Amino acid sequence: MIIHMNSSIIRFVLGNVLKTEAALLLLPCLVALIYREQVGIWYLPVAAACFLLGCLMTIKKPANHVFYLKEGCITTALSWIFLSFFGCLPFYLTKEIPSLTDALFETISGFTTTGASILNDVEALSHCSLFWRSFTHWIGGMGVLVFLLAIVPLSGGSNINLMRAESPGPSVGKLVPKVRYTARFLYLIYLGLTIAEMVLLLFGRMPLFDAICTSVGTAGTGGFGIKNSSIAGYSPYIQWIVTIFMILFGINFNAYYLILFGQIKKALKMEEVRYYLLIIAASVAFIFFNILNLCANAFEALTQSAFQVASIITTTGFSTVDFNMWNESCKIVLVLLMFIGACAGSTGGGIKVSRFVILFKTVRKEFMSYIHPKSIKKIQMDEKPIEHEVVRTVNVYFITFFVLFVLSVFLISFDDTDLITGFTAVAATINNIGPGLEMVGPSANFAFFSPFAKYVLMFDMLAGRLELFPLLLLFHKSIWKDLFAYKKSVRSFKKLNS
């Protein structure tokens, strides 16, 4: 039996996404009201347009609420495209970013928690636009569809497919029996950590507006700063608070769930979390000893090395120093961290620690099969066997990732930039990091790229945040054939019943 794609549920979810964005667009309006900024008025018509279009798309409820992973992937990809397009309009309409391409680049970078910018002077933006720019990180960090699942009652047991399509990592499961409650738990943890960081930043005498924007940027592991110097102008105390919370937001949120319910030993036994923390400790130690002679004292060297390692491995992208000036070995370590990324089930980007753990265990298993051909050994993680399907998916992900990476580097090479700039620009966008090296280093930006190169990098940002496949599925012809076939079958069914 052929199961055609349920286009009505896709339309319904997209409509709810637009209504959610309409509500969120009112927050920068409130900021504009507080700071008496006239440019904030432009957020209202965009919010109204989102709400009206959302209402039109949801006025007719779908007869069938059940959807499969295919629908989940398509809905997720289209949701992020819709979010980004409407989210960029206020920047363009206020003329604070006069180019629509640049406004879209900045917004996609925000929602995907990349933090790559085209702005030469961040501080020239209004408070409402600065807030919206940072707040897009918080929306995209946990995922707008996870938020939607937490507040909008979608019937049917297949809602986990929406979460799987949007959540980072090789596999996603339910923490509690109902997906809606899982989404709520995730958002409560997310909100709790964000507020905790905000309070601690305020203790460090950071201004309230700065604390809000920095906290939401850290929570989403995005990295849009509201100062041209990013976090460098703040005190060491503030830098350490941001460092700690970047690391915390890069940990698998399942660990926090276990800790909250008293299963601390089980949380500490999570292999991915242990490897993640070990990689951070080793990288900080290596860079610390390499930059010790460049700093005034050991504490400054430790602060800089810990901050930048945390920022890069969690793909946040904040900076306190121009690491472009460090020696080659330090820069190589940072580039490797770009690819490794944070834990699955966190707000961080990159390939994810769990995928590398599975990859190395697969390689070790293959070595053992050469030595002991008749041995049968299953790969395990957290004392549980990993299904062959998961191993196969991880292998396919690595192949797809590097094919897309190489193709992207080739395409932006037409801008005639040097290899390090091109390589790290793609690495920084597809891994949702932000800064790269050379011309896209922490003291530079992406403004010099041609519109074509910017669209390639925008695609990479979306692909990286959505774990490649949901976005790539949009380019498969069978998806669109399936979509139209479903509409045709619905019309035929209505005719038979009339």
DSSP letters, 190-239, are: HHHHHHHHHHHHHHTT--HHHHHHHHHHHHTT----SSTTTTTTS-HHHH
Q: What are the structure tokens assigned to 315, written together?
A: 């793909």
pLDDT value, residue 444: 86
Write out the H or E segment, with its range, that includes residue 391: helix 388-412
Q: What are the structure tokens assigned to 164, written together?
A: 């799987």
Centroid of chain to Cα 232: 23
pLDDT value, residue 175: 47
Q: What are the structure tokens assigned to 212, written together?
A: 């809000």
CA angle, corner 440, sides to 435 and 441, nearest 5?
A: 60
Q: What are the structure tokens assigned to 423, written together?
A: 């390589």
pLDDT value, residue 140: 87
Q: What are the structure tokens assigned to 465, written together?
A: 């945040």
pLDDT value, residue 174: 45
Write out the H or E segment, with its range, that includes residue 76: helix 69-93
* Residue ranges in the chain modelled with pLDDT below 50: 1-3, 155-158, 172-177, 493, 496
Q: 385 has which bridge partners?
A: 380
433, 115 Cβ separation under 8 angstroms: yes
Write out the H or E segment, with its range, that includes residue 380: strand 380-381
pLDDT value, residue 166: 52
The amino acid at 360? F
pLDDT value, residue 160: 53
In whole angstroms, what is the distance from residue 49 CA to residue 381 CA? 47
How many other CB atoms sit within 10 Å of the CB of residue 235? Answer: 11
Cα torsion at 250, 438, 400, 249 (round to 10°)?
Answer: 10
How many other CB atoms sit within 10 Å of the CB of residue 375? Answer: 9
pLDDT value, residue 126: 94
pLDDT value, residue 171: 52
Q: What are the structure tokens assigned to 476, written together?
A: 């498969």
pTM (predicted TM-score): 0.90
Tens digit of each residue's pLDDT (9 = 90 or more) over 266-316: 888 888 899 999 999 999 999 999 999 988 899 999 999 999 999 999 999
In whole angstroms, what is the distance from residue 102 CA to residue 180 CA? 36
Evaluate the CA torsion angle 141, 145, 148, 149 in order and state its sign: negative
C-alpha to C-alpha distances, 405 to 10, 76, 110, 388, nearest whole angstrom: 29, 22, 21, 26
169, 354 Cβ separation under 8 angstroms: yes
378, 172 Cβ separation under 8 angstroms: no
Tens digit of each residue's pLDDT (9 = 90 or more) over 394-425: 888 899 999 999 999 999 999 998 999 999 99
**Ordered DSSP codes for 457-480:** HHHHHHHHHTTSHHHHGGG-HHHH
pLDDT value, residue 157: 45
pLDDT value, residue 200: 97
Residue 454, classified by CB atoms within 10 Å of its CB into exposed (0-12), middle (13-18) or buried (19+), is buried
